[in-house]
A and B are shown apart, each in its own frame.
Chain A
Amino acid sequence: MTESSPATAALPAVRWCDRCGESVATGPHPACEAARAWEPPRWCASCRRRMKVQVVPAGWSAVCVEHGERRG
């Protein structure tokens, strides 16, 4: 599943895992990365807000009120 990001000039820094919502400061989360092959993101990677996620048969969208929408 490919993913696109909001068309903003400068993307905010990725500080949180978009699957489990924990910090990625100490390194990547391999289990979460593997799981994300079959899941949309749930947490905003920039601010750790829980996103509003809609899954449809051919894609998904995830909205953070602060950082906009991601689609896949």
Chain B
Amino acid sequence: MPEILDQARERVLGNGVGLDEAGILAVLNLPDEHLPAALQLAHEVRMRWCGPEVEVEGIVSLKTGGCPEDCHFCSQSGLFTSPVRSVWLDIPALVEAAKQTAATGATEFCIVAAVRGPDARLMKQMREGVAAIRAAVDIQVAASLGMLTKEQVDELVEMGVHRYNHNLETCRSYFPNVVTTHSWEERWETLRMVRESGMEVCCGGILGLGETVEQRAEFAAQLAELDPHEVPLNFLNPRPGTPLGDRPVVEGKDALRAIAAFRLAMPRTILRYAGGRELTLGDLGTREGLLGGINAVIVGNYLTTLGRPATADLELLEDLKMPVKALSATL
């Protein structure tokens, strides 16, 4: 057994203390023959510190495309030649999407907008949309609207938004290679205000942007320092027309190593499968990740790409005897 896994067994499984950056890097560098042991340990950590439940979420894009920012992986930036056009979802369609999500047993519904930060029109649409969902659907509402002012944070709290997603996307040292129109620190500032407001912090990123393994470890350590309630883990799905459109997808084994490493860095967080798993891991890898530290999924489609049908994931969870977290457990 590699030394790092023995150390992690005592420190993370035994005491609930996440690995430091050097330990995370050691897990990311484990040879293939030790990957099953790393996943098994990450699974034990998740079961001990989070339990068997899996949190199920649906996401929808309230405002798609036309974003002024230049995140190099993103098909919704208006600065690239991506074919994604700008489009707004109306409130009846938003409520219908929340209903479809709740029908899967999901407890979370995240409303997302492709913006640098919300303007008055978007905040109005959010106010009306969240009120309409809360009146018609039993589900927790989360939001992801880019960088916020303090006033906007307070407004979202007032609307009843219980969790706010704002991904750091990658580690601090690599961020300027991926985004030039705003800084990692600006994102961190929004996360700080969200945390102070009492909303739950949801913050993750994308693996496969060209970062080194060391930078992947740096990112996990920086997330652990933030200590978010939830970490959505995406794997790059290279989008046509974006600067990262020709990058290869992450190797399945590297993705699984990252899942184990992120779990061992953050034993108590909700570690969610987000975009890209279909390409990177396929059905078998999806199962392995759920047995290797993942305890939450986005079901159905993503913002501009498609996911597995919700029924496929729900059947898998049933097969793995992992109960879907009930709404009562989240309130």
A residues touching B (Cβ–Cβ < 8 Å)? 1, 19-21, 37-40, 42-43, 50-60
Complex Cα distance A40/B75, Å?
Answer: 13
In the complex the two chains form, is A42's CB within 8 Å of B279's CB?
Answer: no
Q: Which of B84, B100, B237, B299 contacts A56 (CB 8 A)?
A: B100
Q: Which DSSP category, helix, strand, loop or mixed, fits chain B's interface?
A: loop
In the complex the two chains form, is B306's CB within 8 Å of A38's CB?
Answer: yes
Complex Cα distance A56/B300, Å?
Answer: 8
Report the tally of A-B residue pairs with Cβ distances under 8 A.
71
In the complex the two chains form, is A50's CB within 8 Å of B85's CB?
Answer: yes
B residues touching A (Cβ–Cβ < 8 Å)? 58-61, 64, 83-85, 87, 89, 93, 96-97, 100-101, 104, 237, 240, 278-279, 299-307, 309-310
Given contacts A20-B240, A38-B278, A39-B305, contact A53 B84 (CB under 8 A): yes
Complex Cα distance A55/B64, Å?
Answer: 9
Q: Which of B87, B300, B305 contacts A57 (CB 8 A)?
A: B300
How far in angstroms is the closest Cβ of chain A from B5? 34
In the complex the two chains form, is B83's CB within 8 Å of A55's CB?
Answer: no
Complex Cα distance A40/B307, Å?
Answer: 11
In the complex the two chains form, is B83's CB within 8 Å of A54's CB?
Answer: no
Query: Which B residues are CB-close (under 8 A) to A52?
Result: 85, 87
Complex Cα distance A39/B240, Å?
Answer: 11
Q: Which of B100, B104, B306 contacts A39 (CB 8 A)?
A: B306
